[in-house]
Amino acid sequence: MAIRRSAAAKINLCLHVVGQRADGLHDLQSAVAFLECGEWVELRKSERTELNILGPKAAELPVQDDNLILKAAALFPSHCQTEISLHKTMPVASGIGGGSADAAATLHAMAALWDLPLPDVAARLSLGADVPVCMGRAPVLMQGIGAQISPLGALPPLFACLVNPGRGLSTARVFEHLALKSNPPLEPPPPVAAEFCAWLKRQRNDLQRPAVAAEPRIADVLEALDAQAPLLARMSGSGATCFALFETLAAAQDCAAAIQARQRSWWVASGALLT
């Protein structure tokens, strides 16, 4: 028996850095949505646990012991030996939670394959700050260091184009460029979907400016997205992937096609935000 689970791209629609804790971790507030990008894991019971990576981005992610998928599998009892295949389509170190989404999908698949409960939130958080939020697919509000997750509320139908310039970007490097660690918090999300886009435009990604300083190609991506007249164009997470939001799927797909035609080496995806 094989169990397959998809891993959706995480989009930080906004991200406010509101403080830094004594242990050095940052307190964040972020509205998060997800986009299906064709990445998945498939698991089978086996005599030993092993990971195989295939797909268009497989070369960017060699199999190593510190892979989050293997760490996720190791949270289950030692008898749960599993053969895991990852179909890799998202770029690595790109600000859209690829590794965290893979780990979350692995946790779901392991629990189903072995008929066991999911590890608790503390165990999920041990894999990385984005793993808890990637356990679901609905829009959420993420706060603190990643463990505080609540429903975001009603969103209008929205469609996204994601673009990455083919440059990996270390989150630690971006935070090193962040001059101010205590910034104004998010405004409370609006109670009705009709007000969501106006609310979102008033929010920020506090990591966008330091990320551009660390990787100037991000500014080129944002310029290319802005040229397609979106509702909003912004960087996701710590970059280097950026997104543009549109009211229709056709507009998001047209944006993706126009950018891909001009920048064939860039990674581009489009689709509807998951609800």
pLDDT tens, position by position, 188-244: 999 999 999 999 999 999 999 999 999 999 999 999 999 999 999 999 999 999 999
Superfamily of domain 153-272: GHMP kinase, C-terminal domain (3.30.70.890)
Per-residue pLDDT at 147: 87
SS (H, E, C) the chain: CEEEEEEEEEEEEEEEEEEECCCCCEEEEEEEEEEEEEEEEEEEECCCCEEEEECCCHHHCCCCCCCHHHHHHCCCCCCCCEEEEEECCCCCCCCCCHHHHHHHHHHHHHHHHHCCCCCCHHHHHHHCCCHHHHCCCCCEEEEECCCEEEECCCCCCCEEEEEECCCCCCHHHHHHCCCCCCCCCCCCCCCCHHHHHHHHHHCCECCHHHHHHHCCHHHHHHHHHHCCCCCEEEECCCCCCEEEEECCHHHHHHHHHHHHHHCCCCEEEEEEECC
pLDDT for 214 equals: 93
* Strand pairing class (159-164; 26-45): unpaired
In the chain, which stretches have pLDDT less than 50? Answer: none
pLDDT of residue 27: 95
pLDDT at 167: 84
Q: Give residue limits of the domains in the chain.
A: 2-144, 153-272
How is domain 2-144 classified at the architecture level of CATH?
A: 2-Layer Sandwich (3.30)
Find out whether 125 and 267 touch, Cβ atoms under 8 Å.
no
Residues constituting the chain = 275
Please identify every residue annotated as catalytic. Answer: 10, 130
